[in-house]
């Protein structure tokens, strides 16, 4: 799957691109079912909110077959290789939940700021990919993006270890206000199966979820092989140190897994 010239231009200008319903209902159904099983496990890779609700499950592609397939899917890999002009490896893989009624915030931040400070990533040549496992509405903890903010470079940030259960390099309110005044705000929403790409320096965050509607999104970070991290400080299942280029699987691999999954359940 190749991006059009118009899609490439939007990404370069705005720092983000949304591809609606890229994955089918059957593919998403099996991923959703597998995600719920993962959240029930007691593993160090699974982080929870202060309420006990699941917040994120790291490295699921290494211990779950369905997410292992997703991590090699050509509908995801091919556009990123097109934008970077080289092969990529998996820097980070996580399934983020915004539990109904109790899903907590993600403060305003840039992801590359963390990759540079905590992992020693040389340049922002790693791509954020978000695949919707649930329908994302404006009111159930949707991701908010500030367009064009990726052109600001790495911004000053403070290491917030107190606001939520996940430590994050966050931006101050004055910086967010200035960027908003310049670029506005967008909230990509859509049905399960949509895929969002956004630049590692794009400023983003999300509010809490007090609705009865859960919001699960798979977040993958694909890094250009030549841009591999140099000074990792985090655990390997958070910032991977296997820089082997990803070899894409067959386009129907996830659908074939879904068929086997359904047959086994009958």
Confidence check: pLDDT of 179 > 90? yes
Domain 16-265 -> CATH class:
mainly beta
pTM equals: 0.91
pLDDT digits (tens, 9 = 90+) for 95-128: 988 878 876 777 899 999 889 999 999 999 999 9
- Residue 160: pLDDT band with limits 50, 70, 90: low
Long-range contacts (CB closer than 8 Å, 24 or more residues apart) made by 246-250: 246/71, 246/72, 246/77, 246/87, 246/88, 246/89, 246/90, 246/222, 247/72, 248/72, 248/73, 248/74, 248/77, 248/78, 249/69, 249/72, 249/73, 249/74, 250/74
Residues near 251 by beta carbon (within 8 Å), at least 6 away in sequence: 73, 74, 75
Instruction: Provide the residue ranges of all domains of the chain, joining segments of one domain with +.
Output: 16-265
Task: Tell me, rounded to whole angstroms, the distance of Cα 184 from its chain centroid.
Answer: 22
Task: Write down the pLDDT at residue 161.
Answer: 62
**Which sign, positive or negative, has the C-alpha torsion 169, 123, 199, 58?**
negative
The string of pLDDT tens digits covering residues 42-101 is 899 998 877 777 788 999 999 999 999 999 999 999 999 999 999 999 999 999 888 788
C-alpha span between 113 and 150 (Å, rounded) = 11
How high is the pLDDT of residue 59?
96
Rg (the chain; Cα; Å): 17
Q: Which residue in this structure is represented by tokens 């590359």?
A: 112
Q: Coil, strand or helix: which one is 12?
A: helix
Residue 227 has pLDDT above 60, yes or no: yes
Mean pLDDT, residues 232-241? 96
Provide the pLDDT confidence category of residue 33 given band limits of 50, 70 and 90.
very high
* Token duo for residue 164: 């939520």
- Distance between CA 65 and CA 168 in Å, rounded? 29
**Dihedral, 82, 155, 171, 207 alpha carbons, nearest 10:** -10
Whether residue 240 is predicted with pLDDT greater than 70 in this model: the reply is yes
Mean of pLDDT values over 167-179: 88
Q: Reduce the DSSP state of residue 213 to 3 states and report it.
A: coil
């Amino acid at each position: 799957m190749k991006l059009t010239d118009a899609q490439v231009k939007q990404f370069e200008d705005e720092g983000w691109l949304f591809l609606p319903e890229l994955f089918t209902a059957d593919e998403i159904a099996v991923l959703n079912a597998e995600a719920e099983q993962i959240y029930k496990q007691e593993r160090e890779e699974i982080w929870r909110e202060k309420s006990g609700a699941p917040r994120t499950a790291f490295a699921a592609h290494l211990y779950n077959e369905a997410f292992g397939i997703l991590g090699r899917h050509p509908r995801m890999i091919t556009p990123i290789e097109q934008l970077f002009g080289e092969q990529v490896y998996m820097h980070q893989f996580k399934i983020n939940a915004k539990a109904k009624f109790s899903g907590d915030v993600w403060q305003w931040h840039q992801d590359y700021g963390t990759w540079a400070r905590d992992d020693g990533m040389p340049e922002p040549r790693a791509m954020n990919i978000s695949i919707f496992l649930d329908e994302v509405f404006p009111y159930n903890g949707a991701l908010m993006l500030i367009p064009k903010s990726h052109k600001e470079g790495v911004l000053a940030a403070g290491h917030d270890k107190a606001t939520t259960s996940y430590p994050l390099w966050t931006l101050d309110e004055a910086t967010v206000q200035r960027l908003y005044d310049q670029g506005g705000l967008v909230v990509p929403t859509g049905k399960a199966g949509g895929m969002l790409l956004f630049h590692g320096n794009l400023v983003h965050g999300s509010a809490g979820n007090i609705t009865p509607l859960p919001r699960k999104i798979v977040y993958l970070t694909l890094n250009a092989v030549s841009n591999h991290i140099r000074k990792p400080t985090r655990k390997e299942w958070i910032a991977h140190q296997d820089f082997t280029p990803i070899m894409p699987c067959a386009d129907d691999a996830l659908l074939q897994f879904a068929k086997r999954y359904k047959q086994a359940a009958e």
